[in-house]
Amino acid sequence: MAKEKETKEKGLFVGLAWSCGDMKLLLTFLFFLCSLATIIQFHPYLTSVPHTTTLLSCLVPPTPEPTANSSSTSVATTPTPHPMKRDQMGPDSVFKRSFNPVGSAAYLLIQMSAYRGGTNTFAVIGLASKPLHVFAKPQFKCEWIDNTDNGNGSSVSVDGYKILPDWGYGRVYTVVVVNCTFDKPVGLNGLGGKLVVHASTNGGGDRDVDSVESFVAIEEEPSSVNGSVFTAPPDYDYLYCGSPLYGNLSPQRIREWIVYHVKLFGRRAHFVIYDAGGIHAAVMDVLRPWIEIGAVTLHDIRDQERFDGYYHNQFLVVNDCLHRYRFNAKWMFFFDVDEFVYLEPGLTIDSLLKDLEGYTQFTIEQMPMSNKICLADDKGKSWRMWGFEKLVYRDVKRGIRRDRKYAIQPRYAFATGVHMSQNIAGKSLHKTEGRIKYFHYHGTIANRRESCSEFSNTTELRFDRTPYMLDETLRRLAGSIKRFELKTIGDRLVHTRQ
C-alpha cells in the first residue's frame, strides 16, 4: 500500500515537471516571436520583405474601421496621406531642405449669408483667413447659372469685388463682403437659378498651390424674384441694426433701452437684435412682448463663436444686417444697447431725417456718462430707479476723441462698420451737434448690481481724476417713458430685476 502511494506521488511529480517544461518552452517561443516582430517593424530592409505584412497581421489584431457613430473629435489612428518630401543633397554639395505642410491654418471662407442687392448685383458676407487677405491676394469669381429642365442652364461670370470692412481689427478671421455685379440683370426670367462663387487662394499661403473652392452662395426658385422690390417704398422708415449681445446682461437695462427707443423712433421702426450668448431667459422675458407686437426681430448667432474674429464678429453682424434689410428701411441706425439717442427740443426723428435726406450717412456725437455717480437725494431709493434716470453725471474731459455712432441710407451702402461706413455712394455729414447726440452708459449693461456707488449733491465734481457735470437731460424723460411702456405692452415687465 505504501509502495503504491509512493508510485502515484512520483507520477504526479513527473507530470507537473513535464507541464512546467512545456510552459517554459511555450513562453520562450512567444517571447522570440514578439521580439522578431518588433525588430521587423523598425528594420528598413526587413519591412520590404513581401511576407512581413502577413506575419505582422497574424500577431497584431487589425485596426477597426471607423463607424458612423465615431466621434469627430477623436484622434485619427492613421496619419493623413501626404506626399512626404525628403531632404536631398543637391548640386555643389548644397543640402536642399524640405517643408511638408499638414492640415490648414484657417478656412478660405466661412459664409454667413448672401443677398440680392438689385437686378444684377449680389453681396456675399462671411469670414476669411486674415493673414491670407492681408498679405496675399485671394480672388473671387462669381457665376450665375440659370435653371433649365435638362440641367444645362446658361451662365455668365464676373470677377467679384471684395471689401474688408473691419478696419484691420480682425483676429484669426477678418470680415469679407464679396460684391458680385453683372453687366446685365440675371435671374429675372422666371426660371430661377443659382449664384456660384469660386474662391481662390491665388497662391496665398502656398505659392505652389492655387487652391480653388466653389460653393453655391444663393439658390433661387423659379418666379421667386420680384424686381419691383428694389425700387418700391420700404416697409419701415427706420431700422436698428444691433451689435452681437453677449455675457450676463441686465434685463432691466435692456428693458429701459428697448422702450426708450421704440418711443423715440415711432411705429414705423423695427429693431434687429443679434444674440451671441447674452439673451438668457430673463432678457428673453423682456424682449418677448416687443417681439409679439412686431417691433423686434431676434437672430441667434451663437455658432459664430467658433470662429475667432473681432469682438464676437461684430463687423460680420452689422454687414449681415445691412444687406439683409437694405430694402426694408429708408434709414438704418447703428449703435449699442448702452447708448441712448437723443434729439434736441423742437426736433422729431421725422423732421431731422427729412432735413438730412440729401446725405447717405451722418454720424452722432457721444455724451459719456458716469456709470456709478448718482445724486445724493436718490440715496436709499436708487435701486428702484431706471439707469438713465439716476446716472446723471456726464464726463466733460476735453481734448479726447470720442467714438461716434451713425445712420445710413442702406440702398446706397455696399458695406459698413461699427462707427461709420467707408463704402457708400453719396455724401457723409459729421457736424450734427445741436441736433442729435447719444448718451453712453458704458459698463452698465452687464452690471447686475446696483449702479450707484458714489453720491454727490454738487453740479460739478472730479472723480478718479475725471471732471463731471450734472446732466439731467434723460432723467427728465423717465416718467413719459414709463407711461409709454404701460400703454404699449401693459404691466408685464414691472417686476423685472437687475
pLDDT in tens, 35-54: 666 665 555 444 444 444 44
- How would you label 30-69 residue by residue, b for 16+ Cβ within 10 Å and e otherwise? eeeeeeeeeebeeeeeeeeeeeeeeeeeeeeeeeeeeeee
pTM over 0.85: no
What are the phi and psi torsion angles at 246 (to 5°)?
A: -145, 170
pLDDT given at position 14: 42
- Neighbour tally for 129: CB within 10 Å: 25
Distance between CA atoms of residues 51 and 160, nearest Å: 57
Q: What is the pLDDT along the chain (498 residues), one digit of tens a residue?
A: 444 444 444 444 444 444 555 666 766 777 777 666 666 555 544 444 444 444 444 444 454 555 544 444 444 555 555 677 788 888 888 987 777 777 778 899 999 999 999 999 999 999 999 999 989 999 999 999 999 866 677 899 999 999 999 988 999 999 999 999 999 999 999 999 999 999 999 878 787 778 899 999 999 999 999 999 999 999 999 999 999 999 999 999 999 999 999 999 999 999 999 999 999 999 999 999 999 999 999 999 999 999 999 999 999 999 999 999 999 999 999 999 999 999 999 999 999 999 999 999 999 999 999 999 999 999 999 999 999 999 999 999 999 999 999 999 999 999 999 999 999 999 999 999 999 999 999 999 999 999 999 999 999 999 999 999 999 999 999 999 999 999 999 999 999 988
pLDDT given at position 126: 95
pLDDT given at position 13: 44
What are the phi and psi torsion angles at 71 (to 5°)?
A: -70, 135
pLDDT given at position 57: 45
Distance between CA atoms of residues 269 and 102, nearest Å: 51
Distance between CA atoms of residues 250 and 338, nearest Å: 11
pLDDT given at position 208: 77
pLDDT given at position 81: 57
Residue with cell 524640405: 98
The H or E element spanning position 136 is: none
How do 269-275 and 296-300 pair as beta strands? parallel
pLDDT given at position 456: 96
Task: Classify burial at 130, counting beta carbons within 10 Å of its beta carbon; exposed 0-12, middle 13-18, buried 19 or more.
Answer: buried
